Structure 1
Amino acid sequence: MNDDPLIIDGAALASRFFLGTAGYPSPAALAEAIEASGTQLITLGLKRTLQAGDNGALALALDAAQARGARLLPNTAGCRSAHEAVALACMARELYGTHWIKLEVVGDELTLQPDPFELLAAATELVKLGFTVFPYCTEDLVLCRRLLDEAGCAVLMPWGAPIGSGQGLAHPRALRTLRERLPEATLVVDAGLGAPSQAAQALEMGIDAVLLNTAVAKAREPVRMAAAFRDAIVAGRAAWRAGLIATQDFAVASTPVSGHAFLLGDAA
């Protein structure tokens, strides 16, 4: 039994690993990766699915998620305005029967950085419409506060680095500031992670969960990589709960000897 579930909107999630479903080499690899990850939450790009016109991978993903009791988190990837994102979220709710939505409103084509103004407007509207909103945002503290306090978002999803870049936590100090200044908020690092060690780092600093896609989907062995991220996330969370020692600018002897008698050699 998991004694440390993640509670979101009254739901208890046994895993702190949220997994994307795009770009896998085959539907079978996707299903196996979902199983290996232990995830309780998978994301799905509605616009990508509709444009692709092939629901085979989607059906397999949904079956795999349902088999392990995971929830579906549709997202508004590809949207450029609040109006477009709200319309797509409403469509996703009708299609998949969930009021949970990952909100993405992109403002820059090169970095795929979220548009903070359109994001806040869309989040505010969606919460009024009864959605539980997971906004993909930057680590900007003021924006995050407004998403929580003004819009009423249940979760914050600051990026680690640009989507698919594999850079890891580009601004760890900013993420630590978010954790310190928003101690009650549920924080999920979303995007930019490339290695399990980077996911562990996020959990070690008190981030509640991570969401990733490319690092697993594009790995040489996606299923093995999904398991590696699963274990790293568990280890990072356990380390945070256990209490990491404070970093120091100087050496601190693990076995102090000052003031204690000790032998230099065998007694005569």
Structure 2
Amino acid sequence: MTAHISDEVMRKINERHLRPTSRWYFSGREVLFWAVAAFCAVAAILAGSTAVFLAGDYDWEWPTESLAGSWRYILDGVPHFWLLMTVLPVVSAVGVILATRRGYRIGATAAGAAVLGLTLLGGTAFARYGVGEAVDVALTKSLPPYESLVRHRTEVWSEPEAGRLAGTVVAVEASQDIVIKDFKNRIWRVSSESLPALEREKLRPGAEIKVVGSPVKAGGRSDAEKEQAPRFSAKTVKPWRSKNREIKIERPEKTERSENKLDRRDQSETAAARRRGTAPRED
């Protein structure tokens, strides 16, 4: 019986011209699978770091008052594209790990937990060191269609009809109007009458701010005002970059200690310049 089975096996091998597969094939296949899994893990970490950056750059403490309960505003802060780009490599990495020689021993749960944990830790660390921001900036500059896939903070705050306006202060006029240039290079005249006096005093030309309020409709303006820049009535003004912090007031006054430090610095720089022979000689 055993001999009959052996003869049958040998006959089929000869008929099909079967040859033994080299062990190098299986070794190379194993290395390739783990390399693909590592590549997927790195891709997931990069995508995760970009998602963490975009989510952290969003103004989650806003909106207030008129924007409260705006689900669209909240959903705009979720980086849907990058979350998808994070999940896909994670799933791919788990599938490739399970296809390796010892994948059945690892199991889907353990492999998924390991890859997901590595993605979360690596993505957070990369975002902290600016990798996520670098990826976002590089894609924004080199890939125009990318703008339609990601909703940036500047785009969210360039919707005056929704009560959100941001830009750079160009001038602060005596009529309590603030002239700003938004991120689309449009000039706006922002009325700050409803703002506290202390908050108006903190504004300086060149400062980047974000404003919550409402646009002034052209129907309620005179013909002369219609020819000027569009108007926006401000309810709240906050700095653009520094979240949860007030705009710093520039104080021209110098304390005695700061003046002494500046004098010592000037003296040391002059002495160093004299040693190099570049300082002007005193008459």
**TM-score > 0.5, shorter chain as reference:** no
TM-score with structure 1 setting the length: 0.21
Instruction: Name the one with the larger helix percent.
Output: 2
In our comparison, the structure showing a higher alpha carbon Rg is: 2
Greater RCO, CA 8 A, separation 6+ = 1
